[in-house]
Chain A
Amino acid sequence: MKKQILELLNAKYAEAYGGAITDSTPLLSSGLVDSVAALDLVDALEQMFGFEFEPHEVEEKNLDSAERMAAFVQTKIGG
């Protein structure tokens, strides 16, 4: 799961970041991803893993790095 997320993030943001995005690279808190672009990531995660964020789940805690995203997705889809 984390591998897929990292592929997604690197495809979208590696160039702007200036290097490879790793598990813990901060995305929102560093300003690399703004709040509008974050919704694009939310869409991508929903499509990739087949679940829906509830509106209150769209927050930095669940989106600020690959590992946070993976942990959140895990709680949504289990397994």
Chain B
Amino acid sequence: MLAQAILSLPDAVVNDADESVFHVGAWSLLAEMGCLRYFEFGAESETVMADMVALGRQFEDGGLTFALGAQLFGAMTLLEWDLQPSSTVAKVRELSRSGMHLAHAISEPESGSDVFSMRSVGVVEGDWIHVFGTKTYVSGGSEAEWALVYVMTDSSKGAMGGMSAILLHKDEWTLLGSMKKMGLRSCSMSSLAFDVRVPRERVVGKVGGGYRSFMKAMDWERTGLSAVHVGTMERVFAKTVAFANLRHQGGCAIAKHQAVAFMIAEMKIAIETSRFLVEKAAATLGHKASSKERTKAAAMAKLHTSEHLVEVCKKAMQIHGGSGYVHGVGPERWMRDALAATIYSGTSEIQRKLIAGLL
């Protein structure tokens, strides 16, 4: 739907000058184009994922595309799927469609990948709910106006039936500082603490309804970020092939050397196999497949594309030689950004566990 428009964006928009700063202009432009309104208009999952590939293809700033994927799929989906939204949920949903930053806060200092062992609590007190706890690794936490925060509202039930998603405003949490990261630097990562009573209408969906929605949101997020990975690999590949054709050693372009040509061939295979898995995962989203098929396809796409993104960037760096190791330029930055991919939205080990459990 927007892929062509994204691929036509000028260099001044897609190539940021400073990777440590959030690219406000590009974010606003993407929001104006409708990149946060897919669910409002009922776009087909395959169309959405084709646009995510285009974003990865175009934007050098991996932090920006990661921030968009995390907000659109990790956080906004729950608001979009709330069939009877309260006035606050409806308001935050519309604001986030327009580009307001909505963070997704689930990880905790003690829980790591075992997200459901969270300690943050929500105590329902009539029309109010008292929420308290600490969340960490919150992407976009520093820019966020609102956050979708998961808490246990009935720990005796565990995540299934005992976990709820609640909207908090930035005035209701304390930002515990922003962490410096290896890559994806334009997207902040923060910890936040909260201890506040908020109206019960802040609950997205119903109290206790967080688990199924979270699992479905993760399927969308993993597929969406996998699509971004495919686009990113395409960009890295195109730039590396251009370099290999331009750079001459021993009387010919290095692309003609078998050692380099083999690496280029392997990069191409990695991209095409990744594209296949993303297309399959995209087709299983929505109501077209069981949750088992959807979760398995998303995990396979996430595992495969993230691991191959790292490999593709590593080969790009090798082909670029010394120039690829220069800080902040091309391969060195691609590599730093890529290494996050096997960790965020569930580590590679979590994806393997999911896949094996669903066979």
Contact = CB atoms under 8 A, between A and B. Distances in A.
Contacts of B215: 36, 39
Given A35-B160, A35-B211, A56-B161, A40 B206 contact: no
Given A36-B295, A37-B357, A39-B215, A59 B290 contact: no
B212 interface: yes
B210 interface: yes
A66 to B, nearest CB: 18
SS of B interface (majority): helix
Interface string B315-359: 000000000000000000000000000000000000000100110
B292 A43 contact: yes
Contacts of B209: 54-58
B300 interface: no
B205 interface: yes
A34 interface: yes
A40 B292 contact: yes
Contacts of B161: 56-61
A40 B207 CA distance: 22
Given A35-B116, A36-B295, A54-B209, A59 B357 contact: no
Interface in A33-79: 34-40, 42-44, 53-61, 63
A45 to B, nearest CB: 12
A56 B162 CA distance: 8
Interface string B214-246: 010000000000000000000000000000000
B17 to A, nearest CB: 43
B98 interface: no
Contact of A60 (B157, B205, B290, B291): B157
A37 B212 contact: no
Nearest to B164: A56
Contact of A43 (B205, B290, B358): B290
A79 B358 CA distance: 34
A49 to B, nearest CB: 15
Contacts of B116: 35
B106 to A, nearest CB: 15
> B interface, how many residues as a size bin?
20 to 34
B208 A39 contact: no
Nearest to A59: B161
B152 to A, nearest CB: 13
Given A55-B205, A55-B206, A38 B290 contact: no
A38 B160 contact: yes
B162 A59 contact: yes
B74 to A, nearest CB: 16
A56 B213 CA distance: 9
B159 interface: yes
B357 A39 contact: no
A34 B357 contact: yes
A28 B212 CA distance: 15
Question: Which of A39, A40, A60, A63 has most chain B Cβ within 10 Å?
Answer: A39
B155 to A, nearest CB: 13
Contact of B205 (A28, A37, A56): A56
A19 B208 CA distance: 33
Interface string B162-204: 1000000000000000000000000000000000000000000
B299 to A, nearest CB: 10
A58 to B, nearest CB: 5
A20 to B, nearest CB: 23
Given A28-B160, A36-B357, A60-B158, 7 more contacts: A35-B159, A43-B291, A56-B208, A59-B161, A60-B157, A60-B160, A63-B160
19 contacts: A35-B158, A36-B295, A36-B354, A36-B357, A38-B160, A39-B295, A40-B290, A40-B291, A43-B291, A43-B292, A53-B212, A55-B212, A55-B213, A56-B206, A56-B209, A57-B209, A58-B211, A59-B160, A60-B157
Interface of B: 116, 157-162, 205-213, 215, 290-292, 295, 354, 357-358
Task: Give 5 closest A-B pairs by Cβ, nearest first.
Answer: A59-B161, A55-B209, A56-B209, A56-B208, A40-B292
